[in-house]
Each structure stands twice: as C-alpha cells, then as structure tokens.
Chains A and B, each alone.
Chain A
Amino acid sequence: MELLPTIWFVAIAVLWTGYLFLEGFDLGVGMLMKLFARNNTDRRVLLNTIGPVWDGNEVWLLTAAGATFAAFPLWYASLFSALYLPLLCVLVALIFRAVAFEYRGKVDTERWRTTWDWAIAIGSFVAAFGIGAALALTTTGLPLDANGDRSGGPFAWFSGYALLGGFGVVAFALVHALAFLALKTDGGVRLRARRWFVRLVPVAVLPMLAWMVAVQFLSGKAWTWAIVVAGVVSVVLAWQWARNGSEGRAFAAIGAFVVCATASIFGAAFPVVIPSTMDPAFSLTISNASSSDYTLGLMSIVAAVGLPLVIAYQAWTYWVFRRRVSAAHIPEAHGFLPAIAAKVLVAKENTNPSNPGA
C-alpha cells in the first residue's frame, strides 16, 4: 500500500467531509428560504445566520476539487469530464446562489427579493443534489474506457446511485440546516426549526443511509459497516437531544452522521476512486490515478500546516458571530433615496407649491 496516495485519499475524504458538514447547513438554509421562512424578516434571519460564513464554507468545495486535481489528476480529469452536464448545473446553481446572497438586499422591492430568494433556494437545491450525485457516482461507478473517458454519450453517467446521492445530500442538508437554525437563532424561528427537525430527521437521513449501505454491499469492509452503525446511532442521539432541547448536541450529532457517511463511503470505496462499470481493469485507483510522490510530499507539508490554520480561523469566525440571530437584530431595510435623484425631487417640491408634500 502506498503511503502518500493513501494519505491524500484520506485528505480528500476529509475535505469532502468538511464541505458537506459546513456547506451542508448553508445549502439547507438556502433551500429553507422558500420551504420554511414565512416572511421577509424570517428570511433575513435565516440569511444572516450564514451571512459571514457561507463563502468560507464554499471554499471547502474548491479545495476538495483543487486537491483532487493536484493529488489525483486522473481522478479529477475523468470525474469532471464524465459528469459534464451535471457539473454545469452545479456551477450555474452556485453562481446564482452566490450572487443572490450579495444582491438580494441591494434593491428594496418585493419583486427583486423574491427573484433572488428563488435563486438561493433553487441554487442551493441543485448544488446539493449535483454534488451528492457526483460523490455517489465516484463511489459506485462510471462507464469509463481504457483512457478514463466516459463512453456512451452525455447521459451515460446516470444510475440510481446518482438519485440516491443527490437526494441523500439534499435531505441531509435540510435537517442539518434545521439543527443549525435551532442553534443559531432565537424566537419563533428557533422553536419551529427544532420542531421541524424532530419531525423530519428520521425520514430525511434515509436516502443518505441507503447510499451508505449500498456502497457497503458493493465494497464494504467490517470497519466501514461499523461506521454505518455509528451513523445510525448518531441520528438517534440527534433526534433524542433535539426533543430534549439540547440544540448544540443535536447539531453536533447530526454533523457526526455526515462524518460517518463520508467515512463509511470513502472507506468502503478505498482504494478505488472511480470504479469503471465497463471493465474493472479500467477502474481508477489511488495507485494509477495519483501524482508523483514528490508532488504529494510537497502538498502534504503545505496541507499539514495550512489545513489546521484554516480550521482555526474559521472556528474563530464562528466564535465571533456566535450570538443567536433573531428578528430584533435585523436592521430595517435601507431603501435609500439616491442622492442624485433626491436632488431632483427636492427641486420639484420647491418649484411646485401645489405639491401635497411641500
């Protein structure tokens, strides 16, 4: 067993775990903008729980992709080209979602806000679904030929696993976000989020659990089966703690579930990074897809310093913004009068005494 490729396989699994854990709740909050929030104030409460952190969370995706490129160029090339159209959808979703967060509050009209609310909700859904599908397919198989290219046309990647992974991440993100909101908000949103979480969690984890179990049947080992069991236990705990009102614990436990999910899935898939459904001989593994030991060694040193640093300052961000957000904290929308148009208004009022405003 090669040491460095194994380390990097684990590192990439860790990066995906970080992504699903962190962006998991902000993708979920994005979807809840339409499913859960009742009015504009609710929506602004939701947005401001993730406001300072969502962009940092998304970098986990960029880092996972970049690290895959650097450590396993053949994995990166085959996976991304094989899933061309689904990843295009993910890109479009992420573009709209990012822009929507920033632009939503910039114009004070109902129509403007509603448009961007939909962009956030649909963008979050499509991104979660697409990433889930991609991860499911890389762990269950793609029709790759000897060169590692997809054969069979633009949709040849499709399988039931794609749906399992897609719905798995979407449903997980929803309940993870409810646990997050219960922890990060106050007032009505907090109570409702907790109630929704308790009701939904037993069902919402099922597709991801099915994906975990499916991968175990394909290539599971004893220890990865054990992790699946641990995942189930953490869901039960999350449910129990949420019912008792321990919001912090419930959030941690549902987070532990996704850690178990990636650990059991990547652990079972190891050392294969993409099984070829055409011929097992064409499968990409950590040995035939990896970069040289020199490159991996260099990356290991940088990551050993860089990743703990990232975790430290991101943790600090959560600490700085640890306060619960509630409707009372939300400033009024500032529908400002453009300085220059305002001048014109004033001039009109001055010259027209019959104007009721004058």
Chain B
Amino acid sequence: MDALEIARWQFGITTVYHFMMVPLTIGLGLVVAVIQTLWYRTGKPEYLRMTKFWGKLFLINFIMGVATGIVQEFQFGMAWSEYSRFVGDVFGAPLALEALLAFFVESTFLGLWIFGWKQLKRGVHLACLWIAVIGSVFSAYFIIVANSWMQHPVGVEMVDGRPVMTDAWAVFTNNTALVAVPHTLFGALGVAGAFLLGIAWYHLWRRRHDGIDVVGADGRLVVGEADIPGRDKGDYTVWMRSLRIGAVVAMISFAGTALTGDLQGKLMFEQQPMKMAAAEAACHDGTGFSVLSVGNLGAKNCDDIVAVIEVPGILSFLAKGDFTTEVKGVNSLLGEYKEKYGTHLPDNPLYGDRAGQEIQYVPVMEVTYWGFRMMIGFGGVAALAALVALWVTRKGVVPGSKWLMRLAVFGILAPFGANAAGWIFTEMGRQPFVVAPNPDMNGIDQVFMFTAAAVSPGVSAGELMTSLVVLTAIYAVLLVVEVKLLVKYVRGGVASAMPELAHAKGEHRVKDEASDNNDDGAPGPDKADDVLAFAY
C-alpha cells in the first residue's frame, strides 16, 4: 500500500469507529434528557432509576466518543495537509465553530450534570443535561456542514487555485447539509432505540427466567420481587417503560431516516449522479430499482453486471419522484465526467506516483451497491423488529424464549450497521474526489479536488502505517474494554448505577426513594451531604 491508501484506510477506520460512539451519544443523550424531564415533571421513581441507569451507560460510551474525536480533528492536518491547505478557508470555519460553540458546551455542561446531582437545583441540573445534549446536536450540525461542503461545494470562489469563502450563509445552509443533519440525527435515535429495546428485553426476560416475574394461568404477568438490590417491583416498570420508549424511538427513527433519506437521494441524483448510479450498479440509463444485481461489481467493465430482480419505475421515483424519467447510468455519466473534469490526473508532483494516470470515475461498486442496501436493510429490519416487539409485549409480558431474547440483544447492532453502511456508502461513493464537483454551479464547477492530491506530501508511508497500526490496535482494545464495561453495568441492573439502592433497607424501597427525591435539590443539612453525590 502506498501513503494514499494507508491514509484512506486510517481515515475510514478511525471515522467509522468514532461514528459508532457518536450516534449512541447523541441518541441516548436525547432519550436520557427526555426521561429525566419526565422524572422532573412527575417525580415517579422509575424515571429517576431510568435516568441513572441509562445515564451511566451513556457516560461509559460518551467518553469514547470524546477520546476518538480528537483524532478526527488532528488527522486532517497530520495526514491530509494538502487537503487542509486547499479547503482551509471554507472547511476550517465549521470545525472551529464546532469546538467553540458545541464542544465547550457539551463538555462543560455534561461535567456539571455528572457531578452536580447535589450541588445544583433539580431544574438547573436537568437544564445542564439538555444544554449538553443540544450541544451535541450542534456539533453534528457543524461537522455535517463541513462534510456537506465536500459533497457539494457552495459559497466559494476560486482565488489563486484555492476556494475562498464568499457566502457563509450558503455554506451553513447548504441544502446537502440541511437534509443530512436530520438524516444523521434520526439515524442516531435509531441506535438509541434499539439499545434501550435490546437491554430492557434482556432484563425483562431475565426476571422471568429467574422466577421473579411469573406468568399466571390467565396469561397475565404477576410481578414479583427478589431480595437483591434493585430487583424489586419497581424494576419491572423501569424495563417495561424502557422497552416501549426504545421501540417507539426506533420506529420514529426509521420514519425520519426514510423521509430525509428520500430527500437526500433526490438531491444526490442531481449533485453526484455517479454516486447514485454506482449505488445502483446501473450501467445503462433506466427507471428500475435493482433488488439484486449479479456479476462482477468490481469489474472495470460495468457491462458484466446484470440486474436479476428489478422493480420498474422505483429508481425514477427515488431520483425524481415519478416513475418514468430515465435515470442516467454509469456508462453515459462516464463520458460527461471525462469531458468536464479530464481523463487523466494532472502531471503534478502533488499526485505522487499517480500523476498522469487515468482517472477512475466509477467508485468501488461492491461498496456503493451493498453499502446502500445494507443501510436501508439494517434500518428497516430494526424498525420492523421494534414494531413486532411492541406488539408482542402489548400485555406487558416478554416471551420466555431465549432465542428471541438473544435476537433482541443482537438487534442492538442493526442500527449501528445501518449508520456505518450509510457513511461508507456516501464517502466512498464520492471517490475519486475528496471534494466532489458541484454540477449546478455555473462557472465554478471547477471547485473540486481529487483524493489522490489530498495527502500530506511530507509524510512517509512508514509514518502513516505506524499510526494506522497503533490507532487500530488501541481502538480494538478499547472497544473490548467498553463493551465489557457496558455488559457489566447492564448485568448489574439499576443498582449498578444507584448504589443507594443497595444501602436502602425495608420493604418499601421505592416509596422511600420517591419521598427522598421530592425534597432533593438544594443542599440541606443532610448527613450524607458531606459526601460527593458522584465521585471518580
């Protein structure tokens, strides 16, 4: 592998990894904020327990997003210095604003939320979480504005061979970003929904399995209690409510991603027609959507590919909203791209060994074709599973089947898969460009950059390989650690996030807890007040 390939693998691995943590952070953050709001409004103990439990898992995951996020910001300059030089005038601003307006808010107010359970009044404490969560939504907005500029450059003029921002409004309201932001946020909710659903299902199943809850002869559930911290009757409510919230969130997510994805697809057919043709592995112009295409998707000669099952009209619907408009295939687009952007890479030292080579305008079709289908498939399966789960548990009973429980737990992975597939599709579908040309813009559709020219000329393949190996190894180890901790805390149940449950005595724990919380808030003369509410 040469420097370019290593740098691309590194960016791909670190970004996909980072984007496992991020959607869970955003989605779960929103869900926990809503649950804590419910607690604030109703004072019901189950909402406090849910806040603490899901909040704990949220934090275990959050820190990984923070830690891997720093790599993202540094690596543009480290591995992609030519890219940074080329786009800095317009691309740097959203990154700087992300740090200044979003990361500061997120990290500061989350710190207040974690440590401020006693120091802050209940309302202020809740507000801190909301502010932090809104900060994370803003950070999604800023980074997608930056990414969307790479997909669809707007608001710039070329000055001395570099794009210079002339219209910030156009950059920050890029239509590509305006549809990608909600699409990403709904995708994040899907991750959170499946996460709640799977874990809650496991706990409800486990309560039956352990004989705490028993299904009576009439098919109704008799909720019981075990003499174990946290596994009382209130525990059942915690999981049942979590399961339902999770299922509903997962379905909202699917509806949202489908609607925004449709808008996004229609834009993409205009802005990056080659990406969409490659998503279809469609060589020839047509109207049909391929359900299954066979042939060598990776072959340079696109004519090998045969669509075995095709639904007529659907492709036109995805692209244009009707069933008859012909959508251009790879073969007719190739000619257009060659005419507009050249047939060979410039003979410039910045292209390294690739200088003067023929340009491959067709992205890797195995990736675009299957990436597109995996995104939709995983998303759809998760939503369907959520619907089924809601129906099956409508009477408040989770089936005793071990396999269904396992399915629910492994179902947590489906939205992660959909998110990763979507990003891999859209980023690899943009190749060979790192900044894709914007065909709409008269006169300045020459604002584009080939990925081949974007790497750091001064950085050796050896250095890049070192960082690729080091980062991948560390990420792998940390993934194991994170998952183990999550599993430990999931198995620990609510008591793992609320040590006070373990210390509580007496039959009516839930009631004690509730009355405790009503006068919670301002520091009082309580004896426990000298001890930090939360401490590392």
A interface, CB within 8 angstroms of B: 44, 47-48, 51-56, 58-59, 61-63, 65-67, 69-74, 76-85, 87-88, 91-92, 94-96, 98-99, 101-107, 145, 147-151, 153-154, 291-292, 294-295, 298-299, 302-303, 306-307, 310, 313-314, 317, 320-321, 325, 328-331, 334, 336-343, 346
Given A52-B116, A94-B67, A103-B485, residue A62 in contact with residue B60 (CB < 8 A): no
**Most chain A CB neighbours (cut-off 10 Å) among B62, B84, B89, B104:** B104
CB<8 Å pairs between A and B, sample of 22: A59-B103, A62-B69, A67-B96, A73-B92, A76-B76, A77-B82, A77-B88, A81-B78, A81-B456, A91-B70, A92-B474, A94-B70, A99-B64, A103-B63, A149-B458, A291-B89, A295-B93, A303-B100, A331-B532, A339-B229, A342-B229, A343-B226
B356 at the interface (CB under 8 A from A): no
Please give the distance in Å from B162's CB to the nearest CB on chain A: 9
With contacts A63-B100, A295-B165 taken as known, whether A73 is within 8 angstroms of B226 at the C-beta atoms is no
- Chain B residues with CB under 8 A of A339: 228-231, 491-496
- Bound together, the chains give a CA A92 to CA B206 distance in angstroms of 39
Please state if A107 and B74 are interface contacts (CB–CB under 8 Å).
no
Per the bound structure, the CA–CA distance linking A83 and B74 in Å amounts to 11
* Residue B119 is within 8 A (CB to CB) of chain A in the complex: yes
Q: Are A66 and B96 in contact (CB under 8 A)?
A: yes
**What residue of chain A has the Cβ atom nearest to residue B76's Cβ?**
A69
State whether A84 touches B492 (Cβ < 8 A). no
Closest A residue to B108 by CB, please name it. Answer: A56
Cβ B100 vs Cβ A336 within 8 A: no
Which of A56, A73, A299, A331 contacts B535 (CB under 8 A)?
A331
Partner of A342, one of B97, B228, B485: B228
Complex: how many Å from CA A53 to CA B481?
24
A103 touches B73 (CB 8 A): no
In the docked arrangement, what's the CA distance between A145 and B114, Å? Answer: 48
B488: shortest Cβ distance to chain A, in Å?
A: 7
CB <8 Å contact, A66 and B73: yes
Distance A222 CA – B35 CA, assembled complex (angstroms): 60
Known interface pairs A99-B64, A103-B63, A339-B492. Does A59 touch B104 (Cβ–Cβ under 8 Å)?
A: yes
A55-B112 in contact (CB<8A): no
Among residues of A, the one whose C-beta sits closest to the C-beta of B529 is A329
- Give chain B interface residues in 462-510, CB to chain A under 8 Å: 462-463, 466-467, 470-471, 474, 478, 481, 485, 488-489, 491-496, 499, 502
Contacts of A147 in B (CB 8 A): 457
* With contact pairs A48-B535, A87-B74 given, residues A317 and B112 touching in the complex (Cβ less than 8 Å): yes
- CA of A315 to CA of B90, assembled, Å: 32
A221 to B85, CA, bound (A): 31
**A47 nearest in chain B by CB position:** B536
Given contacts A76-B84, A79-B77, A336-B502, 10 further A-B contacts (CB under 8 A): A66-B92, A91-B74, A95-B71, A154-B463, A291-B92, A299-B93, A302-B97, A306-B101, A320-B119, A338-B492
Partner of A329, one of B78, B227, B466, B531: B531
Q: Which of B36-81 contact A (CB under 8 A)?
A: 59-60, 62-64, 66-71, 73-74, 76-79, 81
The answer to whether A107 and B456 have CB atoms under 8 Å apart is: no
Hey, what's the 0/1 contact readout for B215-241 against A, CB within 8 Å counting as 1?
Answer: 000000000001111110000000000
Interface of B toward A, CB cutoff 8 Å = 59-60, 62-64, 66-71, 73-74, 76-79, 81-82, 84-85, 87-93, 95-101, 103-105, 107-112, 114-116, 119-120, 159, 164-166, 168, 206, 210, 226-231, 456-460, 462-463, 466-467, 470-471, 474, 478, 481, 485, 488-489, 491-496, 499, 502, 530-532, 535-536
CB distance from B155 to the nearest CB of A (A): 10
Contacts of A73 in B (CB 8 A): 84-85, 87-89, 92
B69 contact set on A, CB distance < 8 A? 62
B134 to chain A, nearest CB (A): 13
CB distance from B220 to the nearest CB of A (A): 23
What residues on A are CB-neighbors of B532 within 8 Å? 48, 325, 329-331
Q: How distant is B55 from chain A, measured CB to nearest CB, in Å?
A: 13
A338 partner, pick from B95, B466, B491, beta carbons under 8 A = B491
How close is A138's CB to chain B, nearest CB, in angstroms?
A: 12
Min CB distance B178 to A, Å, is 19
Tell me which residues across on chain B come within 8 A of A343, comparing CB atoms: 210, 226, 228, 231
Within 8 Å by CB of B466, from A44, A88, A292, A341, lies A88
Q: Give me the 9 closest cross-chain CB pairs, A-B, nearest first.
A: A73-B88, A80-B77, A149-B458, A70-B92, A339-B493, A69-B92, A77-B81, A334-B499, A81-B81
CB distance from A270 to the nearest CB of B (A): 20
* A103→B85 contact, CB < 8 A: no
Would you call B112 and A103 a contact (CB within 8 A)? no
Q: Report the minimal beta-carbon distance from A100 to chain B, rounded to whole angstroms.
A: 9
Contact present for B74 and A149 (CB under 8 Å) = no
Contacts of B111 in A (CB 8 A): 51-56, 317
A98 touches B66 (CB 8 A): yes
Contact of B84 among A77, A150, A320 (CB under 8 A): A77
CB distance from A315 to the nearest CB of B (A): 10
Q: Which of B67, B77, B100, B462 contacts A69 (CB 8 A)?
A: B77
A76 touches B229 (CB 8 A): no
Once A44-B535, A329-B530, A343-B210 are accepted as A-B contacts, the answer to whether A56 and B85 lie under 8 Å apart by CB is no
Minimum CB–CB distance from B57 to chain A (whole Å) comes to 11
A15 to B102, CA, bound (A): 16
| Chain A residues closer than 8 Å to B231, beta-carbon distance | 339, 343
The answer to whether B536 and A88 have CB atoms under 8 Å apart is: no
Closest chain A residue, CB of each to CB of B100: A306
On chain B, the residues within 8 Å of A48 by CB distance are: 532, 535-536
Distance in angstroms between the alpha carbons of A337 and B489 in the assembled complex: 10
